[in-house]
Homo-oligomer: A and B are copies of this chain.
Amino acid sequence: MNNFEYYNPVKIIFGEGQIKKLSELVPKDARVLITFGGGSAKRTGTLDEVKTALKQNGSRYILEFGGIEPNPEFDTLMKAVEIVHKEKINFLLAVGGGSVLDGTKFIALTSTLDDNANHSKAWEALLNRTKEIHSAIPIGTVLTIPATGSEMNAGGVINNSEKKAKLSFSNPKAYPIFSILDPTKTLTLPMKQVMNGIADAFVHVIEQYLTYPVNAKVQDHYAESLLKILIEEGLAVRTQPDNMEIRKNIMWSATMALNGLIGTGVPQDWSTHAIGHELTSLYKIDHARTLTIILPALMKVLKADKREKLLQYAKNVWHISNGNEDERIMQAINKTEEFFVQLDLPIRFSNLNIGEMDIDNVIYQLKAHNMVALGEHKKNDLSVSRQILELAQ
């Protein structure tokens, strides 16, 4: 196990009926901007439930900012920053999934910059992963889509369609103060979005696990636990969509998948995300679906590098014991693909029926975003990414 630091001060409030606790959690005299995405927060009544709770026990000033997109757009978020300034907002309450939460974190951070009129400082800050920002407006969240883990971490990913860029940041000031996880809110999600969420959480675990062994037993066991639960509950929820126990396990697993704990003291490899982000930017593919397209190809291309961990994954997650080592690794990769297919997720770009992938262009974008040395050893250059993209076609 490598040396590490771990710090995660997010208060989690989990379970049915917890939204009413907003009346205690948000300061009584706060000037609150509720951020959300499309119309579903309104349609499902969650937004009303949130507002009702905020109106109890205090004299809060409440404004709404809807329309944060999946893969939240830089320009959209800058509009919220303007409202924060104009309305002297001092609390942000994000209601939605990972995109709304990520976007709200970015609003919280960049609202503390002084030059927001032309947004150039905010863009510079993002290019620098917000490392130079040392304060943020406090955030609370009400999670409605289990997937990204954003509710219990300090990171996010922001899209800029104009610049064809999808860039990540991480900043300890962006930890939500609290996150409410009410699994009943996930019942109204379209099954496609549930499957995307499971795939996203699954790959989050993989990116912190599938590298090389450092004998970190807690982290490995925990990661394998989450993978097994996501497989089991991911397959089960399709036939039992109203089973609350399954929904609860999916929601808590997705949070645990990216709250930092399984990634402490171990090498990590976020290549699948790095390459996937370019596919989302160029082709508007759902984030999770870029991951299920890239991961199997990446496993095949990097199977020598990741040999020991792939064997461990085969044994402990898929219970594969037959065949020689190479065969066991291939069985594990096949099992991974089968699992994604069972969730109706694509495993090749061609599954999407949006034409052929322009690999040169993807490589060009990876280079433009400085994604030229990927992997746990930071040695996988663009030729490796090209091999992965070719297999993922």
Chain B residues near A319: list those with CB within 8 A. Answer: none
Give Cα A17 to B2, complex, Å. 12
Contacts of A56 in B (CB 8 A): none
- How many angstroms between the C-alpha atoms of A256 and B222 in the bound complex? 11
Residues of B within 8 Å of A221, CB to CB, are 222, 225-226, 228-229
* Cross-chain contact of A264 among B5, B14, B249, B253 (Cβ < 8 A): B14
Q: For A226, what are the chain B residues with a Cβ–Cβ distance below 8 Å? A: 218, 221
Please report the C-alpha to C-alpha distance between residue A13 and residue B5 in the assembled complex, in whole angstroms: 5
Q: Is A188 an interface residue (CB 8 A)?
A: no
CA distance A15 to B248 in the complex (A): 34
Give complex CA distance A225, B5 in Å.
22
Query: What is the copy number of this chain in the assembly?
Result: 2
Q: Binding site of A, secondary structure by majority: helix, strand, loop or mixed? A: mixed
Q: Is there a chain B Cβ closer than 8 Å to A245's Cβ?
A: yes
Known A6-B11, A14-B264, A15-B3: A229·B225 in contact at CB below 8 Å = no
- Write out the residue numbers on chain B whose beta carbons fall within 8 Å of the beta carbon of A249: 1, 215-218
Most buried by B among A7, A16, A217: A217
A18 CB within 8 Å of chain B: yes
**Nearest Cβ distance between residue A257 and chain B, in whole angstroms?**
10
Q: A343 vs B347: C-alpha distance in the bound complex, in angstroms?
A: 49
Binary contact readout A250-271 vs B (1 if CB under 8 angstroms, 0 otherwise): 0011001000010011000000
A8 lies within 8 A of chain B by Cβ: yes
Contact check, B1 vs A11: say whether CB atoms are below 8 A apart: no
Is the beta-carbon distance between B7 and A3 smaller than 8 angstroms? no
Chain B residues with CB under 8 Å of A215's CB are 245, 248-249
A14 touching B4, Cβ below 8 Å: yes
Distance between Cα atoms of A15 and B216 in the complex (Å)? 12
A202 to chain B, nearest CB (A): 14
Across the two chains, which residue of chain B brings its CB closest to A246? B215
Residues of B with C-beta under 8 A to A228: 221
Given contacts A7-B11, A222-B225, 20 further A-B contacts (CB under 8 A): A1-B15, A1-B248, A2-B15, A3-B14, A4-B12, A4-B14, A6-B14, A7-B10, A7-B12, A8-B8, A215-B245, A216-B248, A217-B232, A217-B253, A218-B253, A218-B256, A221-B225, A221-B226, A222-B222, A252-B265
Q: Could you list 5 A-B pairs, sorted by A, with CB under 8 Å? A: A3-B17, A7-B11, A15-B265, A216-B252, A218-B249
Residues of A within 8 A of B (CB): 1-18, 215-218, 221-222, 225-226, 228-229, 232-233, 245, 248-249, 252-253, 256, 261, 264-265
3 cross-chain pairs, A with B, having the tightest CB-CB distances, nearest first: A3-B15, A221-B225, A9-B9
